Amino acid sequence: MTNNVVISLSCGTDNPNRATRAVHLATVAHKEGKNVTLFLLDEGVYIAKKGLADNLRAATGDVADDLITYLQAHEVPILACIPCAKARRIAGEDLIDGARMGTAAELIQLSCDAAVISL
């Protein structure tokens, strides 16, 4: 069994429940001692844009911004798909602290040695 977890998120502000849940699962996995990467695809890249997750919350009351702050404080990698971000006019300098652009090849490489949760 691997100790690596990749959370792949393809929705963002368009689905606050799923988006917040992905960040929540990344936080829980980290707290459980797993090596976690949050990989953002499609609309999910909006989660990494400065200011856009500030008011994002799930119906359960979980707040994405609080969870993202935890991931940032613990240096959990947050990767935004390069073509997905470019299509939405998001550049590297638009990303929150601790986030960076990532490639499809990185997602595949990370996924080959990890449990993958896709939302």
- 23 — pLDDT class (breaks 50, 70, 90): very high
Two tokens, residue 101: 């652009």
- Give the pTM: 0.95
- 71 — pLDDT class (breaks 50, 70, 90): very high
pLDDT of 31 above 80: yes
Average pLDDT taken over every residue of the chain: 95
- 68 — pLDDT class (breaks 50, 70, 90): very high
Distance CA 101, CA 80 (A): 5
78 in Cβ contact with 106 (< 8 Å): no
